[in-house]
Structure 1
Amino acid sequence: MKSSIAPTQYRLGAAELEVLLAMARTGTLAGAGERLGVDASTVFRAIQRMERGLGQPLFERSRAGYRATDLAQALAEQAERVEAALEAARAAAQAQPEQVTGTVRLSTTDTLLHGLIAPALQQLQPRHPALVFELHASNELVSLTRRDTDIAVRATRRPPQHLVGRQLGMIRSALYAGASSPAQWSDVEAGRAAWIALDDAIPDHPSVRWRRKHFPRAQPTFRVNTALTVMELVGRGMGIGVLPIFLAQHRSELRPLTGSLEDSETQLWLLTHPESRHLRRIAAVYGHLAETVQLP
């Protein structure tokens, strides 16, 4: 007689989803283990158990790491929702009325951090003293999809469509010389000025594109890797450079040689992930930046 009892189905729990999500975000056993606070072998065994239970592979293995299959990507999306719900529950359980707690990871460039974000956070911190900020300043794009960061502030004309974003305004730039430098616009036109630029570090930067368009024969005397370094060297009178107006306008050691350079403009975007934007800690920071960050 055939049994009427259905075979037991494998059930994924929160712990398994946490492991799967860490693997999908990092692509390596070691990286996932570091996020989870366990060793790589523990992660490996957990993935094996899930694959056996589900009866199909979750990751394709190669020398480059572990690439998530379509099934793993679908499960990772659900795991992100579980993660967001758990974070919201923990925050609600720990917070006092009107108190915002937790850690907010924010990614931006050093220029935007020093010129716009740090002053805004300085205003916010006394209002929410229980918040902790992890600030990542780099020209490299940190992934919100993998949750390497909670909020990103980026200069771009093409923000990722899968993220929640708000345009904060236009970043305008001008050509500057040091206040004590004798350089004039006529020196720039005559090719007598030394340029300080980001060519090798960020070859597609609007300032680099502008110079190459209008002064194609000009070669930088100093190639540097951050706009802050451009500003410091220009301020020392070591050459001329294109700088964001919001960063340079209050520096007495800098002198503009031009007005706003129209074809070097770009948009400033405030970005976050749709699954976590409603968490109190993220919403508090996102909302404050949206209200207070202003561009000239």
Structure 2
Amino acid sequence: MTAFPARDLEWNDLKLILAICRHESLSGAARELGQTHSTIFRRINSVEEKTGVRFFERFPTGYVMTDAGRTALAYGQRVEAEFNALGLEVLGADGKLTGRVRLTCPEAFAEDLAPGIVRRFRAEHPEIRIDLSPGHAAVDMARREAEVAIRATRTPPEASFGKKIGDFRFALYAASSYLERAGTRTLDAHDWCMIEGTLPWLVPLVWPTAEAGLPQVVFMSRASRAVLNAVAEGMGIALLPCYFADRYEEVERVSDTVAALDLTLWVLTHPDLRGTARVRALMAHLYEELGREAKLYAGNTRSPGGVNLLPRTDRGSGRR
């Protein structure tokens, strides 16, 4: 292993190096650390300058670890694991209904439903602060990226503890103005509004390949609400979570739920945190709140109106 002057390397420097190693890019590290790309650029240059060590080679395709970078990664992962284990043990033994709980949940849930749920929770537990992190990506609870997660998945992570709320389903939605304009056409010939990353979900249900479907996409966004608004404006049809779209009269459901995309909704935490008073209190509150709306998440509160764009023989033939 390559040696470098560890006395000049601080824990925050090592966290920075670990983040760049994990993502092999400054943009990925910036997202993980909640900083800007330019800040990460300045920080890694400063770390390399003060230590006199080059941890990464810069290429157009990304940042590649040098021998020193691989050494820092190996040591950093061990230090991080011990640090996180300490945090889990200390937090897991905390019996006070005070402090902060980091909650992660889907982006649309964070915008529409979470504020009310958190308000009602804090009415009972005013000394607990909830930090909300929207996103669909899996979180590493061993690294304490969040203490509680609301996740729609087929199989929750093995290193997790929690409760299954119920089914989580998707369907197709459109505005009446679009349907009138579109007339009769096959599903693959419609204009589509897409949540970024979901096009492959409709293979082979709608198109044989994602590339075949791309010309039909007229609007794409990472934000679920932007896609819903595009549908409401009559731009096209979209595949959306039922719990999100069924609450809005501006759009109508134009298919049954897509069985092949069925997931289950879970409330999860790290096993070491299940005894933490504030984590336990929040999870119990989420069990109750989400359980009351189980039919909404399962797509059982609305049904297709006069239009059903998904032929019965094709329902459930997609994959994810």
Give aligned-pair identity as a percent: 24
* Alpha-carbon spacing, 1:215–1:64, altered in 2? closer, same or farther (3 Å): farther
Offset at residue 233 of structure 1 (A): 0.7
Offset at residue 228 of structure 1 (A): 2.0
Offset at residue 180 of structure 1 (A): 3.3
Within the alignment, does 1:211 sit opposite 2:202 as a pair? yes
For 1:142, which of 121, 128, 139 is the aligned residue? 139
Within the alignment, does 1:108 sit opposite 2:115 as a pair? no
Match of 2:271 in 1: 274
* Counterpart-to-counterpart distance in 1, 2:134 and 2:77: 32
In the TM superposition, what whole-angstrom CA distance separates every residue of 1:10-46 from its partner, at most 9, and x where no partner exists?
xxxxxxxxx98x9689837xx9xx9xxxxx99xxxxx
Match of 2:172 in 1: 175
SS of residue matched to 2:272: coil
For 1:83, which of 76, 87, 90 is the aligned residue? 90
* Alpha-carbon spacing, 1:181–1:242, altered in 2? closer, same or farther (3 Å): same
Match of 1:283 in 2: 280
* Counterpart-to-counterpart distance in 2, 1:25 and 1:146: 14
* Counterpart-to-counterpart distance in 1, 2:134 and 2:154: 20
Match of 1:6 in 2: none
Report if the CA contact (8 A) 1:168-1:290 is conserved.
yes
Match of 2:153 in 1: 156
Match of 2:193 in 1: 196
Report if the CA contact (8 A) 1:152-1:272 is conserved.
yes
Q: TM-score, normalised by structure 2?
A: 0.63
* Alpha-carbon spacing, 1:188–1:25, altered in 2? closer, same or farther (3 Å): farther
Report if the CA contact (8 A) 2:136-2:151 is conserved.
no
* Counterpart-to-counterpart distance in 2, 1:108 and 1:118: 12
Report if the CA contact (8 A) 1:24-1:76 is conserved.
no
Report if the CA contact (8 A) 2:92-2:272 is conserved.
no
* Counterpart-to-counterpart distance in 1, 2:150 and 2:81: 27
SS of residue matched to 1:223: strand
Q: Match for 1:291: what amino acid? A: E
Q: Match for 1:214: what amino acid? A: L
Kindly report the root-mean-square deviation, in angstroms, between the aligned alpha carbons of the 2 structures. Answer: 3.8
SS of residue matched to 2:260: helix
**Number of aligned positions between the proteins:** 241
Offset at residue 147 of structure 1 (A): 0.5
Q: Which runs of 5+ in 1 are unaligned?
A: 1-18, 35-39, 42-59, 93-99
* Counterpart-to-counterpart distance in 2, 1:70 and 1:180: 55
Structure exhibiting the larger radius of gyration computed from Cα positions: 1
Q: TM-score, normalised by structure 1?
A: 0.67
* Alpha-carbon spacing, 1:179–1:285, altered in 2? closer, same or farther (3 Å): farther
Alignment of 1:113-132 (within 5 A): 113-132=110-129
Match of 1:295 in 2: 294
* Counterpart-to-counterpart distance in 2, 1:289 and 1:238: 35
Report if the CA contact (8 A) 2:192-2:218 is conserved.
yes
* Alpha-carbon spacing, 1:238–1:77, altered in 2? closer, same or farther (3 Å): closer
For 1:264, which of 248, 252, 261 is the aligned residue? 261
Offset at residue 105 of structure 1 (A): 0.5
* Alpha-carbon spacing, 1:152–1:62, altered in 2? closer, same or farther (3 Å): same
* Counterpart-to-counterpart distance in 2, 1:164 and 1:78: 16
Offset at residue 85 of structure 1 (A): 5.4
Report if the CA contact (8 A) 1:115-1:246 is conserved.
no
Offset at residue 75 of structure 1 (A): 4.1
Match of 1:67 in 2: 74
* Counterpart-to-counterpart distance in 2, 1:214 and 1:185: 20
* Alpha-carbon spacing, 1:240–1:104, altered in 2? closer, same or farther (3 Å): same
